[in-house]
Amino acid sequence: MAECKKCGVHITDDTDRCPFCRCVLEDDGIKGENVYPDTEEKVKFWRILRKIILFLSLCAIGGMLIALYMGADIFNWTVVVTLILLYVNVSIYMSITGKIGYMFKTLFLTLLALLILIGIDYFTGYNRWSFDYTLPSGIIFLNVVCVLLMIINRRNWQSYISFQLFNIFWSVVIAVLLRLGIIRQPVLVIIAVSASVLVFAGTLIFGGRRASDELKRRFFI
């Protein structure tokens, strides 16, 4: 096994650098059990799984396109299935990659899910449930996630103020949609708007100077 003299950990895979400090590893001459997880194997497994799911998704879409070409009346369902498979593959890709932060992943996947649900609603008869229930529920979900991320990352909680402002912006959007009659159910909209405002107000009240400094640093407020 190899050993990092700086971190004091033993490495069993074939890498020549410590995954923590990137120092060059030395052979400690010890033969024994695996005392360090082979993370590279796990990454390879998930990459292979992602490729398999992508291939099966393309096969499913191709089969539906062939059925359409042969005269089957499944256009709407083809679009619906394609949207669902798109979301599944994007979610798997973003879950595997470690280069993107949790905040961006949450925002991107939630907004993508909302757009896809609106598309599904449209191609399945457009009963407007995607506007009445999905949009405000999405904002409520984002506020819950924001609070959880602030609790988990307590040392850097102020970095999520931009997340909160994003939620307030979309709360204003759905309030306008309610006013225009595009959204017909006011209860969830009121809950979503209230949650966004209360989370932001609570952050400013209890965050004190750290919150105000973050606003000045990011938005010059």
Q: Compute φ and ψ for 35, nearest 5 degrees.
A: -100, 0
Q: What is the structure's pLDDT at 86?
A: 94
For each of the chain's 221 residues, which pLDDT tens digit applies?
667 766 666 666 666 667 666 666 666 555 544 444 555 566 678 888 889 999 999 999 999 999 999 988 889 999 999 999 999 999 988 877 766 777 888 889 999 999 999 999 998 888 889 999 999 999 999 999 999 989 988 888 888 898 999 999 999 999 999 999 999 999 999 999 999 999 999 998 988 888 888 888 776 65
Angstrom distance (rounded) from CA 206 to CA 1: 50
pLDDT for the residue 53? 93
Q: Could you give phi then psi for residue 40, rounded to 5 degrees?
A: -65, -35
